[in-house]
Amino acid sequence: MAGGGIVTAPGKNYPGKLTFRVFITSLVAASGGLIFGYDLGISGGVTSMDSFLKEFFPSVYQKESTVKSSDDQYCKFNSQTLTLFTSSLYLAALFSSMIASWATRTFGRRVTMFFAGFLFFIGAIINGAAQNVAMLIVGRLFLGCGIGCANQSVPIYLSEVAPYKYRGALNMMFQLSITIGILVANLLNYEFAKIEGGWGWRLSLGGAVIPALLIILGSLFLPDTPNSLLERGKKEEAHRQLVKIRGVQDVDEEFNDLIAACESSKLVKSPWGNIWRRKYRPQLTMAFCIPLFQQLTGMNVFMFYAPVLFKTVGFGSNASLMSAVITGFVNCIATLVSITTVDKVGRRFLFIGGGLQMLIMQFIITAGIAWKFGLSGNPGPLPKWYAGGLVACICVYVAGFAWSWGPLGWLVPSEIFPLEIRSAAQSINVAVNMIFTFFVAQIFTWMLCHLKFGLFIFFAVWVIIMTAFICMLLPETKGVPIEEMQQVWRSHPYWKKYLLFISST
C-alpha cells in the first residue's frame, strides 16, 4: 500500500507572520460559513416541529401523530415532498457554484461573497413569509444560490490570504463558522418551538437574514487577495496588499512566484477545458473524491436530520431538539481542536484518525439501535441511560467528523490547485459536495424506512473506503506554499509514477 508521506516546502520559506490584520480578515471572510451552517441546523429543526408539519406537510403530521404500528416508526417521516424542501437548496447551490466560478475569477472573491449574502437574504425573507410549499421551495432555491457562491469563494479567499504556515488553521475558520451556524440554529429551534401559537418556525427560517447581513457587510470591508488582483491586472495594488497581509516589506520572492503563477494562468483561455488535462489528474481526483466521501460519512444525516432522527428513535419533540443542540455544541468544540492541530500534525493524520473514530462509533450506534428497536422499530419506553448513551455515542461520532472530514473537506481541495484552474476546480469541489448532499438529503428518510438500523452500516462501509483512499493517495500538504503545491504530487509514491508516465508519453 502506497503511503502519502510527509512533504515539506520545496526550498521556499517566504517571510511573513500571522498578523492581526490577516486574522481579522480571515475571521470576517470565514463568516460566510454561517449561512451554510445556519441552514443545516434550521432545516432539520423545523421539519420536526409539529406546527410546521401541520401547516405545510399535513400527511406527514398525520402519520407521525397517529403512528402505532411498529414498522411505521422507521417510516413516519418518509415523504419525498418533505425531503424536497430540504434538498432543493443543494441543487440550486450546485448550479450557482458554476456561475460563481466565473464571477470569482472575473470580479474577485469578495464580490462573489457579497452576492452570496444578498441571495441568501432574499431566500430568508421568502421562507419566513411562506404561505405554501411552493414559496418554501422558491426560498430554498435562493438560499441555495447564496450557499453555492459562498462555498465557492470563501475557501479560496482564505487559502490565498493566509501565510502558508498557518493556512490550515485559518482556512478551517470557514468550517468553524459552519459549526457555529449549526449550533445557533439548533438553539433557536429549541427556543422558538416553545412559542405559543405554533409560529416559531417562521422566526427560525426568517432568522437566516442575520448571517446573510453579516457576510454582506463583511464583504464590503474585506480587501481582495493579491492573487485575485493579479488575475485582474492590478499588479501594484497586489504588491501593496501582499505587504500589508504579510506584515513585512520583503515579499519579493512570494510576489514573483504569484506573478509567475498569474502569467501561467493567463495562458489558459478555458479553465474548464484545461482542468481535464492529465497533468491535473491527481488534483482533480481529490476535487471529486474528497467532497463525495465527506457526504458519505453520514454526517449530514445527523446535522440536518438530527431532530427528526432522534424523534424517530423515541425522543420527544423538544428532547430531540435539545439532543441536536448537544451534538451541535460538540461539533463546534471539536472543530476548534482541528484548527489548533492541523498545521502541526498534518492533514493525513486527522483524516485517518477521524475516519477510524467515526467507523467505531457507527458500529456501536448500529448495535445500540438494533438492540432496542430491531426491525420493528417499536422500542417502547426508552430508559434514560439508553437514550443518554445513544446521544453520547453520536457525539463521539460527530467529534470524529468535526476534526477531520468536516474542515479538511473544504481545506484540502482549496489549497492544492494552481491559480490557472483554481476557480474552476473549486466549483467542481462545491458541485460534487452539493450533488451528494442533495442525494443524501433526498433519500435519507426512504433509506431509514427500508434499511432501518442498517443505514448506519451503509455509511460505515463508505468510511472504510474513504480512509483507505486517504492512506493510499493523499500526500501531506501542511507547510507547503500554495503556489508550490505541485511538488507534493511529484514526491508522492503513487502520483510521481503517474506524472512521470504521462510526461514520457
| pTM of the predicted structure, to 2 decimals | 0.78
Looking at residue 208, what is its pLDDT? 93
HEC readout, 134-183: HHHHHHHHHHHHHHHHHHHHHHHHHHHHCCHHHHHHHHCHHHHHHHHHHH
Tens-digit pLDDT profile for residues 450-462: 777 777 888 899 9
Looking at residue 69, what is its pLDDT? 43
Residue 489 pLDDT exceeds 60: yes
Which range is least confidently modeled, 291-295, 399-403, 438-442? 438-442
Q: 417 vs 44, which has greater pLDDT?
A: 417
What cell numbers appear for 191 in the block? 427556543
Looking at residue 9, what is its pLDDT? 43
Tens-digit pLDDT profile for residues 157-182: 998 888 888 888 888 898 899 989 98
Q: Cβ distance 377 to 311 under 8 Å?
A: no
Residue 376 pLDDT exceeds 60: no
Residue 1 pLDDT exceeds 50: no
Looking at residue 5, what is its pLDDT? 41
Residue 81 pLDDT exceeds 60: yes
pLDDT class of 6 with cuts at 50, 70, 90: very low
Which range is least confidently modeled, 13-17, 216-220, 345-349? 13-17
Looking at residue 374, what is its pLDDT? 59
Reference 404, options 349, 457, 360; nearest CA is 349
Residue 4 pLDDT exceeds 50: no
Mean pLDDT of 380-390: 70
Looking at residue 64, what is its pLDDT? 62
Task: Give the range with max mean pLDDT: 61-70, 240-249, 266-275.
Answer: 240-249
Q: Is 59 exposed, middle or buried (0-12, 13-18, 19+ CB in 10 A)?
A: exposed
CA distance 4 to 412: 14
CA distance 115 to 25: 18
Question: 277 to each of 268, 282, 412, 422, how far by Cα in Å?
Answer: 12, 10, 20, 14
Query: CA triplet 262, 265, 268: central angle to 5 degrees?
Result: 160
Looking at residue 465, what is its pLDDT? 96
CA distance 399 to 115: 32
Mean pLDDT of 239-246: 90
CA distance 454 to 116: 38
Tens-digit pLDDT profile for residues 412-451: 988 888 877 787 788 888 888 888 888 877 777 677 777 7
Q: Please name the residues in contact with 204: beta carbons below 8 A apart, sequence gap of 6 or more.
A: 42, 45, 46, 185, 188, 189, 192
CA distance 392 to 386: 10
Residue 504 pLDDT exceeds 80: no
- In CATH, the architecture of 20-503 is Up-down Bundle (1.20)
Percent of the chain predicted with pLDDT > 70: 85
pLDDT class of 410 with cuts at 50, 70, 90: confident
Looking at residue 3, what is its pLDDT? 43
Residue 479 pLDDT exceeds 80: yes
Task: Give the range with max mean pLDDT: 56-65, 80-89, 355-364, 448-457.
Answer: 355-364
pLDDT class of 100 with cuts at 50, 70, 90: confident
Looking at residue 47, what is its pLDDT? 77
Question: 385 to each of 168, 260, 368, how far by Cα in Å?
Answer: 39, 62, 12
Provide the 10 A C-beta neighbour count for residue 123. Answer: 28
Q: Please name the residues in contact with 269: beta carbons below 8 A apart, sequence gap of 6 or more.
A: none
Mean pLDDT of 322-338: 85
Looking at residue 71, what is its pLDDT? 45
pLDDT class of 41 with cuts at 50, 70, 90: confident
The average confidence (pLDDT) of the chain is 82
Mean pLDDT of 53-73: 66
